[in-house]
Structure 1
Amino acid sequence: MSLLCKGIAAAQGIAIGHAFVKVEQTLSYTRTTLEADQVAAEVARLKEAVGKTISQLEAIKQKASKDIGEAEAKIFEAHQLIMSDPEFIGAIESNIESEKINSESALEGVSNMFVGMFESMEDEYMRERAADLRDVSKRLLKNLLGIEDSLLGDATEAVILVCHDLTPSDTAQLDKDQVKAFVTNIGGRTSHSAIMARTMEIPAVTGLSDITEKVKSGDMLVVDGETGDVFVNPDQDLIASYEQKLKEFHEQKATWAKLINEPSVTKDGHHVELVANIGTPHDAEGADKAGAEGIGLFRTEFLYMGRDNFPTEEEQFEAYKAVAATIDNNRPVVIRTLDIGGDKELPYLDLPHEMNPFLGYRAIRICLDQVDLFKTQLRALLRASAFGNIKIMYPMIASLVELRQANAILEEVKEDLRQNGIAFNEEIEVGMMIEIPAAAVVADQLAKEADFFSIGTNDLIQYTMAVDRMNQQISYLYDPFNPAVLRLIKNVIDAAHKEGKWAGMCGEMAGEEYALPVLLGFGLDEFSMSAPSILRSRHLLTQLSMEEMKAATNEILNLATGEEIRAYIKENILDKL
């Protein structure tokens, strides 16, 4: 009998196939007391396992860089840093030597201590570090026990992976030829694994609570990554209907591919820009191949991560210049200045421990405080602007005062370059992200002095709704279609247009099928999204009328809930295409 399970639609696509239920391994060992003359050999055994773990993480990182992108692969550098951390590894060695116990026992004691310490912290970022530590510790323990890490066991056919959770390292190792889709008990749309799945184009449904208890290996499953539906042992009629949907989906992708070099124009002739979010210069090539009309967000913090010192001006200049060269024909390249802090830390930047770093010393606040650091990046950006259509964008601006402070520092750097005869684009556009509700409310004032806005919905939604987007218990509150969020977005776009400026969006919302008609109706000029979403969005645009969407949004803004708004979009717009 068919069973329907409802979860979170994490990655679009349809999959039909047999389940492979990944059973969590029980890693058992015996606590052993060592003789004095055995301690040195045991420490050596630990170091050998640590070395093997680091090598495995490097291989995973390389595969992730190739299959997913360098930005997403940076997480594995963080895992490697844990394995190289003298406080962590040194504490394990110290336990072996002082208590004369085997490596497995020493690892468990130290790992549990650190994990417990991080999990007890109120800050969500620090709790996420506990998950990283647990993941890496488990890998090290497997190497100590000589257990090969196998995600799919002895599966001989392409399967739908069913598991409690997928770590980033698990997801990075997935092969599309072996895994048709994955479904998990926990997780959300904004988790590392979900974002990776969308980039890899593997359908995924997360947050199913107890799917591992309802499914056994070999069961037939249908996974709908658009609706969040998972059907267990469906009847033949349901399978047939989804086989038809899957066929139509592949036909859709073939249709989308024809639009790769076409402009993004609505059926009534209105043009918008569909551009890409990237994390490294290497990612620009993928964006270009995906049909992006430019770069809407270059996250420069990834140039600073995975190293033990700040990137030099010359290193940054070459990186920015390389992106401009890849995205040629004077297409725009919007480069965000350093957005560190919150969930992104630099080991060599001694940031203070804060109860809530997302509301603390981060992004533009660091740059305005550490002016030399900021000036180095601005010099590199300005110099690179002589080689392409580069635009500078400040993150986390909360007030007109901060915008003016940042622009004053930029003017100092410009004057220094002029004095030294160094070329840069004197007309370079300088804009800001709108991700703090305070900025959205006073967008009319900010628009007088910023050249453009880019709306960062990931933070704007969680700040507006006072909801941690990674907290599964309250994830229902993280709703892009909440009327309060939509009204703030429209206010920002209207404020920009009133001053003759353009407004873009670089949050996850920009690439969502349900959001695109609404944002078009609001008058959004630029949609920045992950590269795989561009052609699908361009195809949808060709079927929409700008004037019709304007009329629809007038009705949408009078609806009371996100559920009502989604229903309206489905029934009155998407279902009629």
Structure 2
Amino acid sequence: MEIIKGKSAFAAIAVGKIAVYKKEDQPIKKRRTEDPEGEIARFRKAKEEAADQLQKLYEKALREVGEAGAMIFKAHQMMLDDGEYQDCVQHMIQTRKVNAEYAVGTAGEHFANIFAAMDDAYMKERAADIKDISERVIRNLIGKGRQDRDFTGPVIVVADDLAPSETVQLDKDKVLAFVTSRGSVYSHTAILARTMNIPAIVNTGIDLEQDLDGKEAAVDGVRGILYLDPTLEVLEEMKKRREEEQQKKELLLELRGKETVTLDGKRIKLYANIGSVSDIAGVLKNDASGIGLFRSEFLYLEKKDYPTEDEQLAAYKTVLENMGGKKVIIRTLDIGADKQIDYFHMEKEENPAMGCRAIRICLERKDIFKTQLRALYRASAFGNLSIMFPMIISVKEVDEILEIVEEVKNELREEGIAMGEAELGIMIETPAAVMVSDELAKKVDFFSIGTNDLTQYTLAIDRGNAKLDRYYDAHHPAVLRMIQMTVENAHKHGIRAGICGELASDMELTETFLAMGVDELSVAPSYILGLRKKIREIKIKA
């Protein structure tokens, strides 16, 4: 028996034979063209074919995995139709006189590299989506638009990596589990595996050149382990645990529509964190009370130039309308540090995590900030919107923000543009904000604690530095005291305090947070029901 370890993408068990899925190599040759307009026409035709294919994939996914999984392909259609992406391809063909295949491949690499360079795991995985779209267009250009693979019976699919389109095109009745050599738990393929309730392990490093086809295997998606040629003892254990996991899932589904309330009556708002419009279906499917963190920077990261007010309005309006009156908290632009955007032309900094980022950029470049605020306030007419501002360190910053907000609201009133009411909050993610939270609470309607940055700034440890993992302790008493102080000062002034960082889904701390008086927890959509179960089993008062 051989044991191979990876990362769990969907915690479930599967036993069966392996089928290796290998992609067909698609080499791109650079050719000079004397007919750039002809190449542009070829690109446009291939893009239209790709749009039709994505629509069919959306319809197939809608039937087989529901709205949550299908929305991935709506997001791909939006990326494909993005003006910056199309302009980049066409500009390259015209100015460099190259063939369409090369231009599409180069443009795809350019946009994918922007996402891949980010520290944020969710945003990093959007690079795979960009590559998937570009590869689809290239296949159409070279006349290989479909890449189907059929299996004779239920198998454990082992691959280097899988694109969302490849995942959906597989017959899910014949897929027992997914195992990939590369990939991330934040990839859309991993999201699809969770939606399809298919066990999945990623980043195993498995060698696909060895003889794997037809080999017996067991997938432990809970522990992230693949067993090749498992023993009878392992097979018996897998079977028993699979039955237990199935019982737990059935119980969790019964919690949809139930209140998130402790045994002694404390009610908690359970919100979801999202990174794009396509994530809304997962929020609704998992019965979140609303959206506690909408990362608006994705609108900027996907572009080659600043998104317009109308482009932003369209995205915010879509989210608000789809949430049907539930709370939607949108965080204003949070770039800098690991999230760099070329067209912002930011100066290189020795220590970007401590540099010009998030609200500092907005206050330095008020035209960008006001454009976003105008879009947000226009969108507030279509739902229950709250706005929060990241990386706050002082009361002075909040006062300046509030002045700009009033300027924007007055401009919109003078123009006769409809607005709703929007609560204003700040993220508490610096020790400075914690220490002056007593004063900050007088200025805003709510606090949202970003534990990722708060932890790294409190411990003086770069959370992206693997060499410091032994020192990084998200449960450090100093971090917990920071959270406690923030909650106490919020309640002292009659405002609510929530947590939207990674610690919000850490069930080892759930009871601690509730005892502190935390009002809201905002987590990835897939954690909602499990966290609801945990909260309903807790009794806070002795």
Q: Distance in 2 between matches of 1:437 and 1:456?
A: 11
Q: Distance in 2 between matches of 1:272 and 1:127?
A: 31
Q: Distance in 2 between matches of 1:283 and 1:32?
A: 37
Q: Which amino acid aligns with 1:12?
A: A
Q: Which amino acid aligns with 1:21?
A: V
Residue 193 of structure 2 corresponds to residue 204 of structure 1 = no
Q: Distance in 1 between matches of 2:186 and 2:265?
A: 34
What is aligned with 1:351?
344
Preserved CA contact (<8 Å) 1:264 1:538: yes
What is aligned with 2:359?
364
Helix, strand or coil: the match of 1:295? strand
Deviation at 1:368, TM superposition (A): 2.5
| Residues 32 and 301 of structure 1: CA distance in aligned 2, closer, same or farther (over 3 Å) | closer
Preserved CA contact (<8 Å) 2:72 2:188: no
Residue 223 of structure 2 corresponds to residue 227 of structure 1 = yes
Helix, strand or coil: the match of 1:546? coil
Deviation at 1:148, TM superposition (A): 5.2
What is aligned with 1:323?
320
Q: Which amino acid aligns with 2:69?
A: I
| Residues 339 and 233 of structure 1: CA distance in aligned 2, closer, same or farther (over 3 Å) | same
Moved more, 472-481 or 441-450: 472-481
TM-score (norm 2): 0.75
Q: Which amino acid aligns with 1:392?
A: I
| Residues 267 and 231 of structure 1: CA distance in aligned 2, closer, same or farther (over 3 Å) | farther
Residue 413 of structure 2 corresponds to residue 406 of structure 1 = no
Counterpart of 2:265 (choices 269, 286, 305) is 269
Q: Distance in 2 between matches of 1:224 and 1:310?
A: 44
What is aligned with 1:8?
7
Helix, strand or coil: the match of 2:344? coil
Deviation at 1:456, TM superposition (A): 3.0
| Residues 221 and 342 of structure 1: CA distance in aligned 2, closer, same or farther (over 3 Å) | farther
What is aligned with 1:569?
none
Deviation at 1:272, TM superposition (A): 1.0
Q: Distance in 2 between matches of 1:173 and 1:441?
A: 53
What is aligned with 2:440?
446
Q: Distance in 2 between matches of 1:270 and 1:517?
A: 12
Deviation at 1:473, TM superposition (A): 8.2
Deviation at 1:8, TM superposition (A): 2.2
Q: Distance in 2 between matches of 1:355 and 1:196?
A: 38
Residue 504 of structure 2 corresponds to residue 510 of structure 1 = yes
Percent identity between the two aligned chains: 37
Helix, strand or coil: the match of 1:243? helix
What is aligned with 2:248?
252
Residue 439 of structure 2 corresponds to residue 432 of structure 1 = no
Q: Which amino acid aligns with 1:402?
A: E
What is aligned with 1:394?
389
| Residues 287 and 482 of structure 1: CA distance in aligned 2, closer, same or farther (over 3 Å) | same
What is aligned with 1:68?
69
What is aligned with 2:177?
181
Residue 290 of structure 2 corresponds to residue 298 of structure 1 = no
Q: Which amino acid aligns with 2:320?
A: V
Task: Describe the superposition over 1:292-324 as per-residue Cα deviations: whole angstroms up to 9, x where unpaired.
Answer: 223322344556676777454697389549726
Deviation at 1:264, TM superposition (A): 0.6
Moved more, 255-264 or 319-328: 319-328
Q: Distance in 1 between matches of 2:401 and 2:447?
A: 15
Deviation at 1:258, TM superposition (A): 2.4
Deviation at 1:405, TM superposition (A): 1.4
Deviation at 1:131, TM superposition (A): 6.8
Moved more, 215-224 or 262-271: 215-224
Task: Describe the superposition over 1:131-175 as per-residue Cα deviations: whole angstroms up to 9, x where unpaired.
Answer: 777666655554455445537x33233433322334565557666
| Residues 319 and 475 of structure 1: CA distance in aligned 2, closer, same or farther (over 3 Å) | same
Helix, strand or coil: the match of 1:186? coil
Q: Distance in 1 between matches of 2:473 and 2:185?
A: 11
Helix, strand or coil: the match of 2:433? helix
Deviation at 1:526, TM superposition (A): 0.8
What is aligned with 1:455?
449
Q: Distance in 2 between matches of 1:389 and 1:84?
A: 32
Q: Distance in 2 between matches of 1:419 and 1:27?
A: 56
Deviation at 1:352, TM superposition (A): 0.9
Task: Describe the superposition over 1:13-67 as per-residue Cα deviations: whole angstroms up to 9, x where unpaired.
Answer: 33333322233544469x7999xxxx55898578636742564367448738944
TM-score (norm 1): 0.72
Q: Distance in 1 between matches of 2:80 and 2:415?
A: 43
Q: Distance in 1 between matches of 2:221 and 2:476?
A: 22
Preserved CA contact (<8 Å) 2:271 2:521: yes
Task: Describe the superposition over 1:320-379 as per-residue Cα deviations: whole angstroms up to 9, x where unpaired.
Answer: 497268444xx53323334456677889xx311554776665543343234344345445
Counterpart of 2:538 (choices 536, 544, 554) is 544
Deviation at 1:409, TM superposition (A): 1.6
Cα RMSD (Å) of the superposition? 4.9
Deviation at 1:202, TM superposition (A): 4.1
Q: Distance in 1 between matches of 2:516 and 2:131?
A: 45
Deviation at 1:431, TM superposition (A): 0.8
Task: Describe the superposition over 1:412-439 as per-residue Cα deviations: whole angstroms up to 9, x where unpaired.
Answer: 344566778888667x532112344543
| Residues 236 and 149 of structure 1: CA distance in aligned 2, closer, same or farther (over 3 Å) | farther
Helix, strand or coil: the match of 2:230? coil
Helix, strand or coil: the match of 1:401? helix
| Residues 332 and 246 of structure 1: CA distance in aligned 2, closer, same or farther (over 3 Å) | same
Aligned residues between the structures: 528
| Residues 143 and 380 of structure 1: CA distance in aligned 2, closer, same or farther (over 3 Å) | closer
Q: Distance in 2 between matches of 1:42 and 1:281?
A: 35
Preserved CA contact (<8 Å) 2:447 2:496: yes
Q: Distance in 1 between matches of 2:521 and 2:289?
A: 10
Preserved CA contact (<8 Å) 1:17 1:221: yes
What is aligned with 1:155?
151
Q: 1:278-293, aligned counterparts within 5 Å?
A: 278=274, 287-293=283-289
Q: 1:38-187, aligned counterparts within 5 Å?
A: 44=38, 48=42, 51-52=45-46, 55-56=49-50, 59-60=53-54, 63=58, 66-68=67-69, 70=71, 74=75, 77-78=78-79, 84-85=85-86, 91=92, 111=106, 139=136, 142-143=139-140, 145-147=142-144, 149-150=146-147, 153-167=149-163, 170=166, 176-187=172-183
Q: Which amino acid aligns with 2:400?
A: Q
